[in-house]
């Protein structure tokens, strides 16, 4: 099962860990990572789950559409559905996600088309864009709103033409973002795991979705049990933005932990433990 084909013909590279008969957990990576981000976590969870990871379109070994519209959340949902239909067509799955993986996974768990197909969700350092829209509207005059805007400067930088691509190609953007993460006590180093395409293609995730969702947020709710994990040293996403979402996800748990943004890479053992505990607690699953 090296690839599945999405609704628009995009091929998605899929990877598997653990026993084929175990409960299915799908892990979705963010930007600018690929599925290798999850390997240390997946190896720790493989004795409990059939862990499925995949390269988000534009990253890793998956196809790399050139059109910006191909990276809209609706297309990402089609990719996830193609994976889901292949690995667990009849039983609901557990969902684990980080960064842009969490952003799109919030779209999945609030989708009527996927109702009943996701049993639990662990979200790390990635909010729903629709929830962000409402958050900023309600707090744009507050310190919390201002602080998040300061953390999110790069989102607006990524909207610029050609300059972000040049920064990744020339190398200076790597140094800037690496310094931000190290200042928070973590490390963003993954140069051996990422390709230039991971950095450049993924810019379309921001350009195809962010401003549109912030300008016209939608009422997106879920009854799925959610664990929102917020590293206290996250250089890009503040804790209130990640955790103040009970209005949209009433079955919500929150865990604030020490660490920086790339928690799955920096502390895979903690990610695995929190995921297993949450799944056992809320999804009725036992080891």
Nearest to 128 by CA among 188, 61, 218: 218
CA angle 12, 237, 216 (to 5 degrees): 75
What digits encode the pLDDT tens for the residues 6-15? 999 999 999 9
CA 148 to centroid of chain Cα atoms:
18
Q: Which residues contact 186 (CB under 8 A, 6 or more apart)?
A: 231, 233, 259, 260, 261, 262, 263, 266
Nearest to 235 by CA among 186, 193, 202: 186
- Who wins on pLDDT, 181 or 253? 253
pLDDT (mean) for 257-271: 94
In the numeric block, which tokens belong to residue 235? 């250089």
What's the rounded Cα separation, in Å, for the pair 285 and 102? 22
Q: What is the pLDDT of residue 199?
A: 95
* DSSP code of residue 171: S
What digits encode the pLDDT tens for the residues 173-214? 888 887 776 655 555 556 568 999 999 999 999 999 999 999
Least confident span in 111-115, 120-124, 129-133: 129-133
**Residue 3 vs residues 11, 53, 63, 136: alpha-carbon distances, Å:** 6, 11, 10, 38
What's the rounded Cα separation, in Å, for the pair 229 and 256? 6
- Length of the chain, please? 287
Q: Rounded to the nearest 5°, which phi and psi values hold at 226?
A: -115, 135
Q: What is the pLDDT of residue 144?
A: 66
What's the rounded Cα separation, in Å, for the pair 85 and 258? 36
Q: What is the pLDDT of residue 174?
A: 85
What's the rounded Cα separation, in Å, for the pair 163 and 184? 26
Q: What is the pLDDT of residue 148?
A: 73
Residue 121 in contact with residue 52, Cβ under 8 Å?
no
Summary mean pLDDT of the chain:
91
Q: Is the pTM of this model over 0.85?
A: yes
Residue 136 in contact with residue 155, Cβ under 8 Å?
no
- Who wins on pLDDT, 183 or 225? 225
What's the rounded Cα separation, in Å, for the pair 54 and 96? 12
What digits encode the pLDDT tens for the residues 17-43? 999 999 999 999 999 999 999 999 999
Residue 251 has pLDDT above 60, yes or no: yes
Nearest to 261 by CA among 207, 182, 194: 182
Residue 42 in contact with residue 27, Cβ under 8 Å?
yes
CA dihedral 11, 122, 113, 210 (to 10 degrees): -70
Residue 92 in contact with residue 119, Cβ under 8 Å?
yes
Q: What is the pLDDT of residue 138?
A: 73
Helices (H) and strands (E) in the chain, counts: 13, 8
* DSSP code of residue 122: E
pLDDT (mean) for 241-264: 93
């Amino acid at each position: 099962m090296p690839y599945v084909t999405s609704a628009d013909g995009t091929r998605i590279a899929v990877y598997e860990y653990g026993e084929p008969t175990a409960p299915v957990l799908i892990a979705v990576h963010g930007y600018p990572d690929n599925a290798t981000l999850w390997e240390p976590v997946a190896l720790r969870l493989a004795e409990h789950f059939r862990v499925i990871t995949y390269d988000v379109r534009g990253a890793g070994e998956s196809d790399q559409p050139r059109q910006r519209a191909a990276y809209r959340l609706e297309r990402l949902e089609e990719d996830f559905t193609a994976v889901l239909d292949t690995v667990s067509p009849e039983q609901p799955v557990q969902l684990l996600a980080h960064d842009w993986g969490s952003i799109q996974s919030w779209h999945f768990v609030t989708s009527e088309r996927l109702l009943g197909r996701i049993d639990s969700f662990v979200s790390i350092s990635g909010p729903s864009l629709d929830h962000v829209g409402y958050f900023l509207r309600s707090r744009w005059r507050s310190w919390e709103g201002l602080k998040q805007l300061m953390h999110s400067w790069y989102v607006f930088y990524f909207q610029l033409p050609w300059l972000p691509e040049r920064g990744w190609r020339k190398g200076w953007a790597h140094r800037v973002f690496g310094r931000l993460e190290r200042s928070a006590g973590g490390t963003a180093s993954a140069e051996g795991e990422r390709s230039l395409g991971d950095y450049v293609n993924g810019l379309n995730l921001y350009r195809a979705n962010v401003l549109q969702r912030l300008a016209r947020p939608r009422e997106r709710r879920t009854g799925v049990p959610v664990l929102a994990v917020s590293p206290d040293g996250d250089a890009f996403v503040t804790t209130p933005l990640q955790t103040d979402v009970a209005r949209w996800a009433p079955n919500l748990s929150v865990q604030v932990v020490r660490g920086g943004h790339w928690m799955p890479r920096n502390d895979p053992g903690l990610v695995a433990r929190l995921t297993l505990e949450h799944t056992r607690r809320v999804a009725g699953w036992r080891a």
